[in-house]
Structure 1
């Protein structure tokens, strides 16, 4: 496969996180795929792939780039998400890193925007017009193709988000139909994410003046524990008092797993107390996380 011609990476448009999707016919909605943001460049028979931060991952995504060259016989820059899917067709973020390293033939690229075609910059065109041209370029879904068009939904954002939650998807992205493509944070693209509850081990805590107290949580894997972030206790007062007493009793001299350099005020505890925490789905680290239940060790 050809991957040698250089082309300029375009910093991506980043959707703003909101609590609920927008309504009205000025917006269109798509599934939010749980994967790695990827930009594919096709030029003169060459194909390259860039990560969200502009790193060249063409070798890692070689089968997908081969599929793109077979499907699209024009110069183009595509914006989308690289995913791996489970048996039901849902994107599975936890399997993605392994798939990239060992099974990259199982990767699928969902294209949701077209930034240029045949050397013509399309970023100043309306979002809905860019997507129409992208659909023409890719065509209707082909079950075995590693290149797919991200379908959109016209209608109530709340209804589409409810359907996405029911299907156990990460969430949705809503886009203003008339918007141009701007690199960086954008309020023309809005993401609404579902919440999920999981079980975690408490490995430490922080109680700083002027800030809500938080627990430092880790996720247990087959081989080790992995630090995943903070969560604010949201349990009744009596349980909260009991929690802090237990944590003071479990105080230890070092953390059971590395927590990073930005937690200088953190206090380590023995990793025996487990909790249930509600957090945004599809994030590598916990976001908007609250502890909803304390499990007895």
Structure 2
């Protein structure tokens, strides 16, 4: 008589964990979409990050593919305590102001090498997607299923530095109106039924209360005030090079302007990064990036009413605004 086998059926082999996943990027649109297929979230004002939990280590990767684990050590430490051997979280690192709004300037100061009133432990990571979990690539699943798994992991540590970016059950236009009234940067809409695709996709859309993007600093015009800056000269990516998009002369205090000029004076060059002739201008190597808030674009492709909000690093090239032919994108 043959014995019945007590062996369990073989498990499906684990899917290799990607070393890096190019993030899904939301398309900028003028108004929120309609329909029950769309989920809405707050648009966070910080650094887009992927948190890779691997056996024995955690890596934190920027949108541009750089390893910034050391800059976000508290997030990395907490990620190891989430109870899973392998995992990739997609989200945003932010610092919240006194009103609970994400503030890019506060984040920059918390990350800065100079003394700051803001501790790096104030940096929070709001997770909004789960791309890989315990040997399984989740990108082919619809968003609603990825979110269900994400919520089961992150809600348990909601008081820590890793938190869930909440979905809001609301009409998109009403949510957008309320977000703008509360001084938020905007909202994000995502199709619940779609898998995760890298690159800029219509499945994810962002609607901004004001426009805000990153531009390369290519020089400055001195202020009439001693040691300060009158206007920053800004450029966007265009093809393999840069194109001048105008100047920015507001958004800083006199003291901040002096510190910014000190930084720029260390990278002065005789070879401008853009084709621009301007009397009295001081040109700099294109290694610093300005975060700029503005209202619109002029017909000749210049920023309208720009205001300086902080500095980024050129190393994370993916954040810099790009000009495509006659169209403007980011």
Same-fold call, TM > 0.5? yes
Deviation at 1:73, TM superposition (A): 3.1
Aligned 8 A contact 2:155 2:164 in 1: yes
1:59 counterpart = 2:70: yes
The 5 A counterparts of 1:44-55 are: 44-55=55-66
Alignment of 1:104-123 (within 5 A): 104-123=120-139
Match of 1:218 among 233, 242, 249: 249
Q: Deviations over 1:121-176 (max 9, x none)?
A: 01011011111110011126733x00001100133111111111111111111001
Identify if the C-alpha distance between structure 1 residues 261 and 36 changes in structure 2 by more than 3 Å, giving closer, same or farther. Answer: farther
Q: How does 1:169-208 map to 2 (within 5 A)?
A: 169-195=184-210
Find the counterpart in structure 1 of residue 176 from structure 2: 161
Aligned positions, number? 239
> SS at the partner of 2:81?
helix
Matches within 5 A, 1:1-297: 8-101=19-112, 103-139=119-155, 142-143=158-159, 145-195=160-210, 216-219=247-250, 220-221=252-253, 222-224=255-257, 261=272, 263-268=274-279, 284-287=291-294, 288=296, 289-291=303-305
Q: Residue 63 and residue 204 in structure 1: after superposition, are their counterparts in 2 closer, same or farther (change >3 A)?
A: closer
Q: Is the 8 Å Cα contact of residues 27 and 154 (structure 1) preserved in structure 2?
A: no
Q: Note the C-alpha offset of 1:118.
A: 0.4
Q: Give the match for residue 277 of structure 1.
A: none
Q: Aligned with 2:64: secondary structure? A: coil
2:71 match: secondary structure: coil
- Tell whether the 8 Å contact from 2:158 to 2:164 is kept in structure 1 after alignment: no
**Is the Cα–Cα contact under 8 Å of residues 84 and 133 in structure 2 kept in the other structure?**
no
Gap change, CA 1:43 and 1:34, over 3 Å in 2: same
Residues 204, 267 of structure 1: 8 Å contact kept:
no
Gaps spanning 5+ residues in structure 2: where? 1-16, 114-118, 213-228, 235-243, 282-289, 297-302, 307-330
1:79–1:112 Cα contact (<8 Å) kept: yes
Query: What root-mean-square deviation, in Å, do the aligned CA atoms of Structure 1 and Structure 2 show?
Result: 3.3
| CA distance in structure 1 between the partners assigned to 2:54 and 2:80 by the alignment | 9
Displacement of 1:45: 4.0
Provide the C-alpha distance between the structure 2 equivalents of 1:191 and 1:90, rounded to a whole number of angstroms. Answer: 17
Q: Aligned partners of 1:141, 1:88: CA distance in 2, in Å?
A: 22
Q: CA deviation at 1:67?
A: 1.3
